Amino acid sequence: MPESTNRLLEPRFYPECLSIVVPCFNEEQAIPALREGISAFLEGVPCQAEVVAVDDGSRGATLVRLVEWARADARVTVLRLSRNFGHQLAASAGLDRATGDAVVLIDADLQDPLPVIHAMIERYCQGYDVVYGQRARRSGESLFKRLSAWLFYRLMRLLVHAELPPDVGDFRLISRPCLTDLLRMRECHRFLRGMVTWIGYSQTAVRYDRHPRSAGRTKYTVWKMLKFAWTAATSFSTLPLNLSFLIGGVICLFGMEEAVRAALAHFLGWYTVPGWTSLMAVTSIIGGALLIFVGVLGQYVARIYEQVKDRPLYVVSRVYGGAGETGRGVAAPRAREAGRE
């Protein structure tokens, strides 16, 4: 992907308010370092700022430490989700709540260095609406982790969106106009990286070296990465359906070849043996392929079914800090409601 989209840039002033959105799931060990790091960072920001931390149904003391932070710092708001909805929906909850002119999405493990946000704001002031962090090096990770991450991002470019930038996670700055349009997209199976790329606007990268985790362990295992890749592919692309059609055509050609060979053997008197093995092999290949294709189609149908139920994307059971606390659950806007806003 080129460094930036080809758009006429209009310089803008430094944001009057900066929002930092932090999804958290079982990050009690990382919260002290997160609190210290963000508090120090905000001291050097010449504008109003807010932190929106989203507790995604964590176990342990994650929520307790977040609430302590919110009650000690009026700039911090904590959203407690009623259960674990997943990283992408927790991030969406924070983006829905953020009020800043520029909104930064960052993980709680501080692998993405906070000073990089200064470089993002510089690009924002140049006129860019999306500034994403692109990883140049990944410190503190095993060779297998680096290879699997490299494969994941290239697979996403193939299956989801050809313009999806490689080696880019959810760490990014989004301008208010771009975020307003992004929040109109209320699909329940969310792939924020692809959604931000799809929506357009002027986008550019800031390269940086990724740090080791400040504490705790990664929540993205290999299985979760594969599951995330499949969700992104089936929610954001029809390529799996197209591949099913292509593979079905190849299998059909294979079956036609076997039919021609059998006909020639019959009419030309070639030696033939009643082929139970070959018959079972062909039958198994065709039957297995059909089941796979029906399964792929079923994944799309299931996503349609879940989307048309029009349930809220998430449920906020309580809000701590910020403009005031509330004990009543707050549901996310539904797709139709969001479209009217």
296 and 215 part of one domain: no
pLDDT of residue 1: 43
pLDDT of residue 198: 83
Does a structural domain hold residue 4? Answer: no
pLDDT band at residue 340 using 50, 70 and 90 as cut-offs: very low
For the residues 275-296, what does the mean pLDDT come to?
A: 67
pLDDT tens, position by position, 188-242: 778 888 888 888 888 888 888 876 655 556 555 666 666 666 666 666 666 676 6
272 and 127 part of one domain: no
Q: How many angstroms separate the Cα of 2 from the Cα of each of 163, 165, 182, 215, 290?
A: 9, 9, 22, 34, 40
Does a structural domain hold residue 104? Answer: yes
Does a structural domain hold residue 53? Answer: yes
250 and 327 part of one domain: no
94 and 216 part of one domain: yes
65 and 207 part of one domain: yes
- Residues of the chain above pLDDT 90, percent: 26
Q: How many angstroms separate the Cα of 89 from the Cα of each of 22, 105, 120, 227, 314?
A: 12, 13, 24, 15, 7
Does a structural domain hold residue 3? Answer: no
pLDDT of residue 233: 66
90 and 143 part of one domain: yes
68 and 170 part of one domain: yes
Q: Which CATH number goes with the domain that contains 96?
A: 3.90.550.10
Closest CA to 237 of 182, 294, 160, 302: 160
Residue of 26 and 291 predicted with greater confidence: 26
Instruction: Name the average pLDDT for the chain.
Output: 78
88 and 67 part of one domain: yes
For the residues 141-161, what does the mean pLDDT come to?
A: 66
pLDDT band at residue 338 using 50, 70 and 90 as cut-offs: low
pLDDT of residue 153: 66
Cα dihedral 216, 220, 221, 226 in deg (nearest 10): 180
Domain coverage including residue 121: 17-237+312-340
82 and 141 part of one domain: yes
pLDDT of residue 265: 67
142 and 250 part of one domain: no
Measured in degrees and rounded to the nearest 5, phi and psi for residue 59 equal -100, 165
Residue of 147 and 57 predicted with greater confidence: 57
Q: Is the pLDDT of residue 275 over 90?
A: no
Please, what sign has the CA dihedral across residues 314, 320, 324, 329?
positive
pLDDT of residue 125: 93
**Residue 117: HSE in the Cβ half-sphere, 13 Å Cα cutoff:** 29
For the residues 105-134, what does the mean pLDDT come to?
A: 90
Q: Is the pLDDT of residue 331 over 80?
A: no
pLDDT of residue 134: 83
pLDDT band at residue 17 using 50, 70 and 90 as cut-offs: very high
pLDDT of residue 280: 59
Domain count, the chain: 2
Look up residue 14 and give its DSSP letter: P
Residue of 56 and 290 predicted with greater confidence: 56
pLDDT of residue 167: 72
pLDDT tens, position by position, 56-100: 888 888 899 999 999 988 899 999 999 998 888 999 999 999 999
Residue that has been written with the tokens 């990724």 in this structure? 210
pLDDT of residue 310: 76
pLDDT tens, position by position, 250-265: 776 776 676 676 667 6
208 and 265 part of one domain: no
Does a structural domain hold residue 1? Answer: no
193 and 283 part of one domain: no
For the residues 110-137, what does the mean pLDDT come to?
A: 88
Does a structural domain hold residue 333? Answer: yes
pLDDT of residue 136: 74
pLDDT of residue 2: 44
pLDDT of residue 160: 63
Does a structural domain hold residue 12? Answer: no
Residue 213 in contact with residue 30, Cβ under 8 Å? yes
Does a structural domain hold residue 185? Answer: yes
pLDDT of residue 48: 92
